Amino acid sequence: MTASPKVWAILAMSTLESTQALTSFDVHGAANPSSAPSRRPGAMVSAELAMHLLRQMVVIREFEVRCMQAYQDKKIGGFCHVYIGQEAVAVGCTAAIRPSDPMVTAYRDHGHALARGMSANACMAEMFGRVDGCAKGKGGSMHMFDREHNLFGGHGIVGAQIPLGVGLAFACKYEDEVIHERKSDRVALAFLGDGALNQGAFHEAMNLAGLLNTPAVIICENNGYSMGTSIHRGTTMGHNLAAKAAAYGIESAVVDGMDVLSVYESMSLICDRARRESRPAFVDMRTYRFKGHSMSDPRKYRTREEESQYEAGDPITTMKGRMIEAGMLTNEAFKSILREARAEAKASVEFAESSPVPAITELHTDVFVEPWGRYTGSSDPKMLGGARREPSFRAIENSEGLS
């Protein structure tokens, strides 16, 4: 690598501020064949950060490739939704927040987990249903949880995570201001896909966020398709989601989700404002998934031409080109990043395969923190923890139960 980590460079960024069409195939807005992504000078970014963003996107890409392979080899069960094409969103967003900011997302969650700091091993082992998975193999592909890194889950039901995200923001504010009596400066991120725009939970959560002024940044990863239905076939005002946010008194931004620098810079500004003013924000994050909705999606609802056009705007290729242009990266250095990422992804598969299956006893744990309640009214150690198997004879008289 030629660039020193301390070098700062101005990298060009594309912008969608005026909701311009991205390409001739514009899945998000009205078709506008003549327009191309506009570019603006961009922000000062350290080589260290640029490298971090690029590396994370490559790691996620390589990881998802191995997920697809493992799924096809029947090593991953159930449903599996890969993030290929959308890497810039999770990577740019998580880089823009602090470790103490909570975050919640939907079922296409491997990228968010890795970007937030979960190890590829824990993520892959979870999908293999093994004990070393982030949730000991009890969650699966759609339910990545990581307490250490403040990831409050991937959630399988479309839209269900949005009220939770507003709740995370509410709790940040309540904890800081009511309990600790200090100004709150945390934000919570809640991700959703454009398919969730039509769930009641989205609208209820938006209304509550606007009403209660919770510092929730609600990010719609708008890839143009809710499963196999294009946004224009399923969503009113699909070309202008800002209108939806405005209805709830929430400011919004349109961001080019295929450009990790745009994502990073916009999210930094949006989150700063949300922290400062303790208010929600909505982001229409324009992106595109290169693969199907799930592993069994033949993608008959869109053309290969459309796909190749978006693939030409691959966020990894774009970032790589910018960095080479700025003298931060060489082709050789990129190859070595790719090699390392591929090795890490393959190693995670091996790790997952060698991780033990959960003990059958795990079936019964984690249903309750305390199956019979925290207050038992008894000092009997058998009643303090663990599920009791035998019925115990404990009917008490009227007068008992007083502590």
Partner 1 sequence: MPSTITMPRLSDTMESGTILKWYVKEGDPITSGSVVADIETDKATMEMQCFDDGIVSKILVATGQQVPVGTPIAMMTLEEDETDATAPTSPVAVSSAEAVLTAIPLSDHQRMRVSPIARRLADAAGIDLNAMTGSGPGGRIIKRDIERAAAAQGVSAPSVTVVPTAPAPIAPMSTSRVVPIVSKGRSELALAPEGREVALSGMRQTIARRLVESSQQIPHYQVSMKVDVDALMELRTMLNGQLEPQGVKLSLNDFIVRSCALAMAQHPFFNASWAGDRIVIHGAVNVGIAVSLPAERGGGLVVAVLRDADRAGLRELSENTKELAEKARTRGLSIEEMSDATFTISNLGMFGVDDFTAIINPPNSAILAVGSAIQQAVVRNGQLCVGTEMKLTLSLDHRVIDGAMAAQFLQTVKHNLENPATLLV
Partner 2 sequence: MSVREIEYRDALNEAMSEEMRRDKRVFLLGEEVAQYDGAYKVSRGMLAEFGERRIIDTPISESGFAGMAIGAAMMGLRPIVEFMSWSFSLVAADPILNNAPKMLYMSGGQFGCPIVFRGNGGAGGQLGSTHSWCVEGLYSNVPGIKIVMPSTPYEAKGLLKTAIRDDDPVFFLESERMLGTKGEVPESEYLIPFGQARIARAGKDVTLVSFGRPVLFCLEAAETLAKEGISCEVLDMRTIRPLDIGSIVKSVRKTSACVVVDQSWSFASPGSEVAAQVHAACFDDLDNFVHRVHTVDVPTPYATELEQEYLPSARRICEAVRACLYRA
Using CB under 8 A as the binding rule, whether residue 138 contacts partner 2 is answered as: yes
CA distances 48 to 3, 44, 53, 291, Å, are 9, 12, 9, 30
Q: Is residue 343 a contact point for partner 1 (CB under 8 A)?
A: yes
Residue (327 or 373) nearer to partner 2, CB: 373
Q: How far is CA 372 from CA 364, 368, 378, 397, in A?
A: 14, 9, 11, 19
Residue 6 binds to partner 2 (criterion: CB under 8 A): no
User: Does residue 213 interact with partner 1 by CB under 8 A?
Assistant: no
Task: Find the shortest distance in angstroms from Cβ 340 to partner 2.
Answer: 29
**Phi-psi region for residue 182, left (φ > 0), alpha (ψ -120 to 50) or beta?**
beta
CA 235 to chain centre: 22
Site size toward partner 2, by CB under 8 A:
70
Contact 168, 190 (CB under 8 A): yes
Q: Determine if 349 is a binding residue for partner 2 (CB under 8 A).
A: no
104 binds, among partner 2, partner 1, none (CB under 5 to 8 A by kind): partner 2
Give the pairing of strands 44-46 and 151-154.
unpaired
118 exposed, middle or buried (CB, 10 Å; 0-12, 13-18, 19+)? buried
Which among 25-33, 243-251, 321-329, 339-347 is the span making contact with partner 1, rule CB under 8 A?
339-347
Query: 37 with 12: CB under 8 angstroms?
Result: no
Could you tell me how far CA 261 lies from the centroid of its own chain?
17
Residue 383 in contact with partner 1, rule: CB under 8 A: no
Radius of gyration of the chain (CA): 23
The residues with which 283 forms a beta bridge, in sequence order, are: 219, 253
200 binds partner 2 (CB under 8 A): yes
Q: Which is nearer to partner 1, 75 or 232 (CB)?
A: 75
Q: Using the rule CB under 8 A, which residue among 113, 172, 274, 285 binds partner 2?
A: 172
* Binding track over 43-72 against partner 1, x by CB under 8 A: ----------------------xx-xx-xx
DSSP annotation of 146 reads B
* Rounded least distance, CB 156 to partner 2, Å: 8
- Binding region for partner 2 (CB under 8 A) out of 65-73, 198-206, 228-236, 249-257: 198-206
Q: Does 78 bind partner 2 (CB under 8 A)?
A: no
**DSSP secondary structure string for all residues of 141-164:** TT---BTTTTEEEE-SSTTTHHHH
Residues 6+ away with beta carbon under 8 Å from 145 = 134, 135, 139, 151, 152, 153, 154
Candidates 43, 71, 66; CA nearest to 269 is 43
Q: Is the dihedral of CA 386, 391, 392, 397 positive or negative?
A: positive
Kindly indicate which of the ranges 110-118, 173-181, 262-270, 342-350 contains the residues binding partner 1, using the contact rule CB under 8 A: 342-350
User: What distance in Å separates the CA atoms of residue 297 and residue 142, rounded to the nearest whole number?
Assistant: 17
Least distance from partner 2 to the Cβ atom of residue 114, Å? 17
373 touching partner 2, by CB under 8 A: yes
| Nearer Cβ to partner 1 (273/342) | 342
Of 29, 37, 92, 167, the one binding partner 2 by CB under 8 A? 167
Residue ranges in contact with partner 1 by CB under 8 A: 65-66, 68-69, 71-74, 77-79, 295-296, 298, 300, 339, 342-343, 346, 350, 390-391
The residues that touch partner 2, with contacts defined as CB under 8 A, are 102, 104, 133-139, 143, 145-147, 152-153, 155, 157, 160, 162-172, 174-175, 177-179, 188, 200-201, 203-205, 207-208, 211-212, 365-378, 390-398, 401-403
